[in-house]
């Protein structure tokens, strides 16, 4: 069953399930029907086509407690053209079961992205149980964050067995990522790296804006090996959003700072898919609209440069400790290459 056939059968997906006795779509979101075209890209050498905008796995606790709303958001995203969904089950998220139910009628039309978190001795059972929960024969994209020979071998064995389509890694350290790519380049299919308007040092910009390390070589290295690249933290984390809100950017009538953040990522042809978190219907709609009209305007560039300078002036103080690692990816000359094509 394809996406349009499914939706024709159930009606407007976003309005299917009521929450607390009323429609999940309220106010300005009521009756919203996606009308744009979602751009898609081939994920490196994998041959898998991914939507330029993916559905991120992070969600707030309030939304975890509202599975009906989350279900409607997932279906609205799918109706709007998103075909790539990242799902967390660990760290309190517990989304495998509800997410598997949300996508079960169009599972063959979407790309499921997961991360293995169990220790080596439990990793195979983790993969097998995941297949059972998602009621599927395979997981499209499986990655590890704890990267070692044993974990890579287990993923490779499962790829050979058809249980996993493609193998990836994610790291919060660009220099470590370069080392992992060199070590496992013959096994890897894709990587997940930080890329946004402020923390984007994986991409060469030239001149004095880039320190002399391996950061600027990361994306070209991935390209030379044909690795797919999925961008994470496209909005610079919840803390960057909080800073933008505090500084009045969300009230700025010149444009939408949220759409500008996403559009700046779309300008990088090397990033095949970016995955923002979505925690409300408004956010799903805003993100969809950013992808339907992906061009970054001069006004939006200016807004992002201003926000980047605000962040740079704080020297990382706007970030909570568990996000401080993002500063390792930040430009030293704020806003210098926002949206730059190289």
Report in angstroms the alpha-carbon separations of 203 from 174, 195, 331: 11, 9, 11
Q: How confident is the model at residue 254 (pLDDT cuts 50, 70, 90)?
A: very high
Q: Pick the residue with more confidence: 173 or 286?
A: 286
Q: Residue 182 has which token pair? A: 């060199």
Q: Is the pLDDT of residue 5 over 80?
A: no
Taking the C-alpha atoms of residue 120 and residue 126, their distance in angstroms, rounded to an integer, is 10
Q: Is the pLDDT of residue 140 over 60?
A: yes
For the chain, what is the domain count?
1
In a domain? residue 30: no
In a domain? residue 209: yes
pLDDT digits (tens, 9 = 90+) for 193-215: 999 999 987 877 654 444 444 56
pTM of the model: 0.87
In a domain? residue 223: yes
In a domain? residue 63: yes
| Sequence-separated (6 or more) residues with CB below 8 Å from residue 47 | none
Q: Residue 64 has which token pair? A: 């975890």
In a domain? residue 341: no
What are the phi and psi torsion angles at 166 (to 5°)? -140, 150
In a domain? residue 7: no
In a domain? residue 306: no
What are the phi and psi torsion angles at 316 (to 5°)? 90, -5
Q: How confident is the model at residue 112 (pLDDT cuts 50, 70, 90)?
A: very high
What are the phi and psi torsion angles at 154 (to 5°)? -65, -45
In a domain? residue 327: no
Taking the C-alpha atoms of residue 189 and residue 181, their distance in angstroms, rounded to an integer, is 10
Q: Pick the residue with more confidence: 6 or 281?
A: 281
**CATH number, position 136:** 3.20.20.100
Report in angstroms the alpha-carbon separations of 294 from 17, 268, 309, 332: 30, 11, 23, 26
Taking the C-alpha atoms of residue 305 and residue 172, their distance in angstroms, rounded to an integer, is 24
User: Which residues lie across from 48 on neighbouring strands?
Assistant: none
Residue 170's domain spans which residues? 38-237+258-296
């Amino acid at each position: 069953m394809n996406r349009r056939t499914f939706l024709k059968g159930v009606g407007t997906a976003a309005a299917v399930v009521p929450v607390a006795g009323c429609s999940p779509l309220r106010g300005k979101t009521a009756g919203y029907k996606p009308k744009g075209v979602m751009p898609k890209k081939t994920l490196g050498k994998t041959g898998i086509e991914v939507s330029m905008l993916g559905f991120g796995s992070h969600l707030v606790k309030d939304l975890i407690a509202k599975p009906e709303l989350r279900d409607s958001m997932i279906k609205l995203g799918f109706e709007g053209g998103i075909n790539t969904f990242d799902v967390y089950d660990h760290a309190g998220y517990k989304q495998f079961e509800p997410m598997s139910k949300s996508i079960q009628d169009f599972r063959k039309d979407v790309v499921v992205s997961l991360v293995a978190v169990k220790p080596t001795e439990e990793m195979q059972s983790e993969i097998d149980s995941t297949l059972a929960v998602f009621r599927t024969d395979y997981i499209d994209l499986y990655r590890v964050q704890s990267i070692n020979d044993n974990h890579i071998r287990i993923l490779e064995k499962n790829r050979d067995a058809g249980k996993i389509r493609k193998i990836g890694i994610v790291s919060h350290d660009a220099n470590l990522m370069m080392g992992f790519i060199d070590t496992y380049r013959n096994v890897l299919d894709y990587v997940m790296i930080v890329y946004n308007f402020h923390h984007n040092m994986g991409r060469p910009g030239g001149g004095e804006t880039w320190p002399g390390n391996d950061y600027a070589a990361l994306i070209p290295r991935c390209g030379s090996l044909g690795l797919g690249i999925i961008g994470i933290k496209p909005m610079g984390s919840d803390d960057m959003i909080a800073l933008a809100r505090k500084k009045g950017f969300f009230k700025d009538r010149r444009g939408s700072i949220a759409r500008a953040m996403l559009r700046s990522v779309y300008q990088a042809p090397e990033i095949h898919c970016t995955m923002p978190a979505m925690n409300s219907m408004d956010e799903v709609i805003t993100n969809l609209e950013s992808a339907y009209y992906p061009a970054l305007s001069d006004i939006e560039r200016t807004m992002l440069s201003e926000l980047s300078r605000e962040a740079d002036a704080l020297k990382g103080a706007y970030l909570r400790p568990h996000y401080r690692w993002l500063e390792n990816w930040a430009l030293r000359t704020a806003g210098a290459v926002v949206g730059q094509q190289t």
